[in-house]
């Protein structure tokens, strides 16, 4: 009855007196609001709708006031919705849009600057709406206050173009966030504020601590050392070589064990400066600076070598070749640049490590059409003194030079022939000497076999005391007391004085016999095998091809010499004892 007569105030009072539940009251408020809305009393209607919050779906009210374009009434309803913490992201967006359309800055500031405990909206949504509406200062305030670092930096850099403030803000962040944001915004900051950005990167890559007004107070109390990898920030300096150089030099000064990429990049910068510098004095300084990096052993060898070659940095290339023991590369480098003196100098310096350098140098000079007699003579002299090449190969090598005449190798050949002659004479002398010694030994063996041996020793060869019976005499003319021989000799059948030398001879003879048998077996196996190469490779490991020194009879010797040698081995080397 009361509803039909539109007596909503009386109906509300009656419902309250009858202790009607909230759902019932909310329905009365809704109907009352609808009545006022139809009458055109939008202000009164919105007050009744506010009383339905929590029971009535907000979209019911919002749709009515959107259609009617009653923005201020809708704003009041949305404010009440937020105060009761029942607003969602769409409600926040709508409220902020209402503020911006009404250009009600005071209400907008009151809304976003409320105490954190009184915040009843989604902060990130609010930041997005404010940014889209052009209220950048309000958006920045919200982002900073609620520590939405990414949004703060995005607005400062992309909208406000406030690069210095953005850099200051990053310097206040904890290490992890400062590092990630410098990776994201480092290039744009380097483009607009290069010096300040470089300073912050130096801090970040050495021992980073947030600024005193840090946004994260807990991070100030952490004693942990935080260091970013400087190699990861090198791309930030893409168009700022001066700042990059300062950054890299600072890094290797503070931390000599910086990543190899830091040294490689700094080397490239110094080589670029060296290549473009025209002043000789400054060029020398830059050269030493580049070499100091190469000597630090922190650069990657291959990368450093490529950089030096790209910039034609001769001193660096040669240093790296020498460091890597690439002596032939040093030689070829001088050859390519036709530095004849340097070629010979390289041979002298590294020839002991790689003898083939002298042979290569001779071949190089031999191929040159211009007159290189002086260099050829110097190389030949060293080859001759150290016997590095056979004469025939020397002659064949020099035959490629159309300007080289016989006079170039005349002295070399004469010296070589003289030494060969001297060697032949020395060999013939030794042959005569060995024949005489062999004849003497054979005569001695014959005498031992056919004649009586008179022992005339009067002192013991062991203790040097006068001999007393019983005594032991050996055919090698050593005599011993019986007790001395038993005390010191390993075997009474061998002379203890001659035993060490005799064993060497016997070991040598046994080794020769074994290798002789090995040679015979090798030839038999090679003849029967289908894979001769594998047989040869196998026998290389056994030493079958090692040079042997064989004891043989002189030419024209008698066929019975083998029997004499057997007697010699048995009677003289073993020295069978005779007791007296």
pLDDT tens, residue by residue, 78-92: 888 888 888 887 888
- What is residue 11's predicted lDDT score, i.e. its pLDDT? 60
CA distance 311 to 151: 45
Confidence of residue 572 (pLDDT cuts 50, 70, 90): very low
On whether the CB atoms of residues 311 and 267 are closer than 8 A, the answer is no
Neighbouring residues of 438: CB distance < 8 A, sequence distance ≥ 6: 554
pLDDT above 50 (res 579): no
Q: Could you write out the DSSP letters of every residue in 225-271?
A: -----GGGGGGGGTT-HHHHHHHHHHHHHH-TT--HHHHHHHHHHHH
Q: What's the token pair of residue 157?
A: 């850099």
Question: How do residues 532-554 score in pLDDT, each as one tens digit?
Answer: 777 777 767 666 565 544 444 44
pLDDT confidence of 562, banded at 50, 70, 90? very low
Q: Are strands 471-473 and 479-481 parallel, antiparallel or unpaired?
A: antiparallel
Average pLDDT of the chain to the nearest whole number: 80
Higher pLDDT, 16 or 310: 310
Say if residues 394 and 364 touch (Cβ distance below 8 Å). Answer: no
Q: Is the overall model pTM greater than 0.75, yes or no?
A: no
Q: Of residues 422 and 120, which shows the higher confidence score?
A: 422
């Amino acid at each position: 009855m009361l509803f039909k007569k539109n007596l909503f105030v009386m109906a509300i009072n009656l419902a309250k007196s009858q202790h009607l539940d909230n759902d019932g009251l909310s329905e009365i408020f809704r109907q009352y609001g609808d009545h006022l809305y139809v009458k055109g009393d939008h202000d009164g209607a919105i007050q009744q709708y506010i009383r339905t919050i929590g029971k009535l779906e907000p979209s019911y009210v919002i749709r009515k006031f959107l259609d009617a374009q009653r923005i201020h009434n809708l704003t009041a309803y949305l404010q009440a919705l937020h105060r009761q913490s029942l607003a969602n992201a769409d409600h926040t967006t709508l409220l902020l849009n209402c503020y911006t359309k009404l250009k009600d800055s005071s209400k907008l500031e009151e809304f976003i600057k409320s105490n954190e405990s009184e915040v009843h909206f989604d902060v990130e949504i609010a930041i997005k709406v404010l940014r889209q509406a052009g209220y950048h200062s309000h958006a920045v305030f919200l982002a900073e206050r609620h520590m939405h670092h990414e949004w703060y930096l995005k607005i400062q850099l992309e909208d406000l173009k406030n690069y210095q403030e953005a850099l200051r803000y990053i310097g206040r962040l904890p290490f992890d966030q400062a590092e990630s944001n410098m990776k994201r915004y480092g290039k744009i900051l380097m483009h607009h504020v290069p010096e300040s950005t470089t300073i912050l990167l130096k801090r970040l890559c050495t021992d980073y601590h947030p600024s005193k007004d840090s946004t994260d107070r807990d991070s100030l109390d952490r004693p942990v050392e935080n260091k970013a990898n400087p190699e990861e920030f090198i791309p930030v300096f893409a168009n700022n070589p001066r700042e990059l150089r300062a950054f890299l030099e600072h890094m290797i000064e503070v931390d000599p064990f910086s990543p190899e990429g830091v040294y490689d990049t700094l080397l490239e910068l110094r080589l670029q400066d060296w290549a473009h510098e025209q002043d000789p004095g400054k060029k020398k300084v830059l050269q030493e600076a580049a070499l100091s990096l190469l000597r630090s052993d922190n650069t990657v060898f291959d990368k450093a070598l490529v950089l030096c070659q790209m910039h034609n940095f001769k001193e660096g290339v040669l240093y790296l070749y020498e460091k890597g023991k690439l002596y032939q590369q040093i030689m070829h480098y001088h050859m390519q640049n036709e530095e004849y003196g340097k070629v010979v100098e390289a041979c002298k310096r590294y020839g002991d490590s790689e003898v083939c350098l002298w042979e290569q140098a001779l071949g190089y000079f031999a191929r040159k059409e211009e007159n290189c007699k002086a260099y050829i003579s110097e190389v030949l002299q060293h080859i001759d003194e150290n016997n590095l090449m056979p004469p025939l190969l020397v002659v064949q090598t020099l035959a490629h030079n159309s300007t080289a005449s016989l006079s170039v190798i005349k002295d070399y050949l004469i010296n070589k022939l003289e030494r060969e002659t001297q060697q032949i004479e020395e060999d013939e002398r030794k042959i005569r000497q060995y024949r005489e010694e062999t004849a003497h030994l054979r005569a001695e063996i014959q005498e031992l076999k056919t004649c009586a041996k008179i022992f005339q020793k009067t002192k013991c060869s062991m203790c040097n005391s006068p001999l007393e019976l019983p005594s032991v005499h050996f055919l090698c003319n050593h005599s011993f007391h019986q007790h001395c021989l038993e005390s010191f000799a390993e075997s009474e059948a061998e002379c203890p004085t001659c035993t060490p030398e005799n064993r060497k001879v016997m070991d040598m003879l046994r080794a020769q016999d074994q290798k002789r048998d090995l040679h015979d077996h090798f030839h038999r196996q090679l003849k029967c095998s289908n894979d001769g190469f594998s047989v040869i490779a196998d026998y290389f490991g056994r030493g079958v091809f090692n040079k042997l020194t064989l004891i043989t009879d002189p030419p024209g010797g008698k066929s019975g010499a083998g029997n004499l040698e057997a007697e010699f081995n048995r009677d003289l080397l073993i020295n069978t004892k005779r007791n007296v």
